[in-house]
Amino acid sequence: MDFLEYSARATGRRGSIEVITGSMFSGKTEELIRRLRRAQFAGLKVEIFKPSLDKRYSETRVVSHDDKSILSTPVDNASSILLLTEGVDVVAIDEAQFFDNSIVTVCNQLADSGARILIAGLDMDFSGKPFGPMPELLAIAEYVTKVHAICMRCGNLAQYSFRKSDEAQVVLLGEKNLYEPLCRNCYNAALNK
pLDDT tens-digit map of 99-142: 999 999 999 999 999 999 999 999 999 999 999 999 999 999 99
Query: Quick check: 160 pLDDT over 50?
Result: yes
Query: Quick check: 70 pLDDT over 70?
Result: no
Q: CA-CA distances (angstroms) from residue 30 to 67, 77, 120, 141, 143?
A: 9, 23, 10, 19, 17
Mean residue pLDDT across the chain: 86
Q: How far apart are CA 38 and CA 96, in angstroms?
A: 21
The pLDDT assigned to 130 comes to 96
Mean pLDDT across 18-41: 93
Q: Which residue has better confidence, 92 or 64? A: 92
Say what percent of the chain tops pLDDT 90: 67
The pLDDT assigned to 59 comes to 62
The H-or-E segment that residue 38 falls in is helix 28-41
Number of H helices, E strands in the chain: 6, 12
The pLDDT assigned to 11 comes to 53
Q: What is the dihedral of CA 146, 151, 152, 155, to 10 degrees?
A: -130
The pLDDT assigned to 7 comes to 46
Domain covering 3-147, topology: Rossmann fold (3.40.50)
Q: Which residues are catalytic?
A: 95
The pLDDT assigned to 4 comes to 43
**CB contact at 8 A, 117 and 14:** no
Q: How far apart are CA 115 and CA 142, in angstroms?
A: 13
The pLDDT assigned to 145 comes to 97
Q: Could you state, in order of their start, the residue ranges of all structural domains in the chain? A: 3-147
